[in-house]
């Protein structure tokens, strides 16, 4: 860390800044254009979810817990359901599992579209956000049809999902997937092969393999550093072991470019998974009866459940004392690793113009760091 002198500049990125999804600020000390030191400043989004959860019945937490994260709320719901199901040893109906996969992967697509727009916006290519956010709306339309909500779906419940798919839903999903695949070609031309994009992102914000492992980096960020790690493969939750998909392992440089391209390739893999899920989806019930929402109890014990979100490994550490309320719920958001200690380390010495792009390329989402 360079020594900070009196006449060095101090900047604040955020709390409202296009480089950060959500309200969070970074305090920057810079010498000229070079960053000497960066210090994350949290607290703008702290809503105390972990405390609120402790005062609500298990079932009442589903509308609450997903509000942690806007771009991809479903992971929270699914994790809470998974934790309860694991502690109570509930068998989830097959059809519900498939619907969950579809929901999770659609959410990943939506989150990646958000991400593409964000990175492009941070570079200054403002057409791409307009395209991707617009295309994301088609996925939100699907969610609206399936779950009744566009952004916050509140669709999961203990032992399944709340409603069966509406009639003709599968065909409409396939239609949107076809459209997105077609659009991906446009994105490639407009963005991923764009010379400006290549120039701005290659070799910038490098998180190499060692750094990534040292700072507990997970998800696409880790894969872009050349470590082939995906929770869906390593510890297949739900029924991910039944699907044929690859974890792309082409880009290994750990720079902004690799991270964006990694997500670009995974986008196509998610589409593959959804197609398979729709193809294989069996009939039957989609949920189980919990009999009384106010008296639903979870066996005493604790568990750590995790899944692969669009940002990385998302985990819940859930403790139950056998009562109607959760005893403790700790949300392990990937941004807690990516946005704090890692940024302190890698941002040092980078150019001030690149910092918002680096932050966005790491997909730092303050809400899941602060809860």
Contact positions with another protein (CB under 8 A) in 23-42: 42
**Cβ nearer to another protein, comparing 62 with 98:** 62
**Cβ nearer to another protein, comparing 240 with 336:** 336
Query: To the nearest whole angstrom, how small is the minimum distance from the Cβ of residue 368 to another protein?
Result: 12
Token reading at 15:
């709390």
CA distance 181 to 281: 22
Among 10, 141, 246, 279, binds another protein (CB under 8 A): 141
Contact positions with another protein (CB under 8 A) in 202-261: 213-216, 218, 227, 229, 234-235
CA distance 71 to 189: 25
**Cβ nearer to another protein, comparing 31 with 38:** 38
Applying CB under 8 A, the span of 4-12, 249-257, 275-283, 309-317 interacting with another protein comes to: 309-317
Among 8, 18, 31, 59, binds another protein (CB under 8 A): 59
Among 8, 170, 327, 351, binds another protein (CB under 8 A): 327
| Residues facing 302 on adjacent strands | 319
Query: To the nearest whole angstrom, how small is the minimum distance from the Cβ of residue 259 to another protein?
Result: 18
**Host H or E run for residue 344:** helix 342-346
- Burial class from Cβ neighbours inside 10 Å (0-12, 13-18, 19+) for residue 140 reads middle
Residues 27, 41: contact at Cβ < 8 Å? Answer: yes
Token reading at 178:
């076809």
Among 340, 348, 351, 352, binds another protein (CB under 8 A): 340
**Cβ nearer to another protein, comparing 227 with 272:** 227
Query: To the nearest whole angstrom, how small is the minimum distance from the Cβ of residue 273 to another protein?
Result: 21
What is the SS3 assignment for 233? helix
Among 1, 4, 9, 134, binds another protein (CB under 8 A): 134
- Burial class from Cβ neighbours inside 10 Å (0-12, 13-18, 19+) for residue 367 reads buried
Contact positions with another protein (CB under 8 A) in 90-119: none
Instruction: Count the residues of the shown chain that bind another protein, applying the rule CB under 8 A.
Output: 80
Among 55, 175, 181, 299, binds another protein (CB under 8 A): 55
What is the SS3 assignment for 223? helix
**Cβ nearer to another protein, comparing 166 with 349:** 166
Among 3, 6, 7, 195, binds another protein (CB under 8 A): 195
Residues 21, 45: contact at Cβ < 8 Å? Answer: no
Q: Which residues contact 113 (CB under 8 A, 6 or more apart)?
A: 132, 133, 135, 136, 139
Applying CB under 8 A, the span of 104-112, 244-252, 333-341, 353-361 interacting with another protein comes to: 333-341
What is the end-to-end Cα distance of the chain in Å, rounded?
30
Contact positions with another protein (CB under 8 A) in 278-307: 287, 289-295, 302-304
Query: To the nearest whole angstrom, how small is the minimum distance from the Cβ of residue 147 to another protein?
Result: 7
What is the SS3 assignment for 6? coil
Write the DSSP symbol of residue 351: B
Contact positions with another protein (CB under 8 A) in 151-190: 152, 154, 157, 162-164, 166, 186, 189-190
Strand ranges inside the chain, DSSP E? 9-13, 25-31, 34-41, 156-157, 160-161, 301-308, 313-320, 328-332
């Amino acid at each position: 860390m360079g020594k900070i002198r009196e006449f060095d500049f101090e900047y604040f990125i955020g709390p409202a800044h296009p480089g950060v999804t959500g309200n969070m600020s970074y305090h920057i000390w810079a010498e000229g254009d070079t960053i000497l030191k960066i210090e994350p400043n949290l607290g703008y989004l702290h809503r105390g979810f972990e405390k609120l959860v402790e005062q609500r019945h298990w079932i009442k937490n589903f509308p609450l817990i997903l509000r942690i994260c806007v771009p991809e709320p479903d992971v929270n719901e699914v994790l809470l359901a998974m934790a309860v199901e694991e502690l109570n040893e509930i068998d989830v109906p097959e059809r519900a599992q498939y619907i969950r996969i579809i929901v999770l992967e659609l959410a990943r697509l939506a989150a990646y579209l958000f991400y593409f727009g964000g990175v492009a916006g941070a570079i200054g290519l403002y057409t791409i956000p307009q395209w991707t956010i617009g295309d994301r709306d088609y996925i939100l339309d699907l969610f609206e049809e399936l779950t009744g909500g566009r952004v916050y779906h509140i669709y999961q419940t203990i032992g399944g999902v709340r409603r069966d798919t509406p009639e003709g839903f599968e065909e409409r999903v396939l239609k949107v997937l076809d459209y997105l695949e077609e659009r991906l070609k446009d994105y490639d031309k407009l963005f991923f092969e764009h010379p400006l994009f290549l120039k701005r992102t290659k070799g910038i914000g490098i998180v190499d393999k060692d750094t990534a492992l040292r700072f507990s980096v997970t998800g696409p960020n880790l894969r872009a550093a050349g470590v082939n790690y995906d929770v869906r493969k390593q510890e297949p939750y739900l029924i991910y072991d039944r699907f044929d998909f690859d974890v792309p392992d082409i880009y290994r440089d750990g720079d902004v470019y690799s991270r964006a391209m990694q997500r670009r390739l995974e986008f196509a893999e998610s589409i593959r998974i959804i197609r398979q899920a729709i193809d294989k989806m069996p009939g039957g019930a989609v949920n189980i009866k919990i009999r009384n929402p106010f008296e639903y109890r979870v066996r005493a014990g604790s568990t750590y459940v995790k899944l692969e979100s669009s940002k990385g490994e998302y985990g819940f550490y859930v403790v139950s004392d056998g009562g109607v309320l959760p005893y403790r719920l700790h949300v392990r958001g990937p941004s807690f690793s990516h946005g704090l200690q890692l940024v302190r380390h890698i941002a040092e010495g980078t150019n001030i113009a690149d910092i918002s792009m680096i932050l966005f390329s790491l997909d730092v989402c303050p809400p899941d760091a602060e809860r």
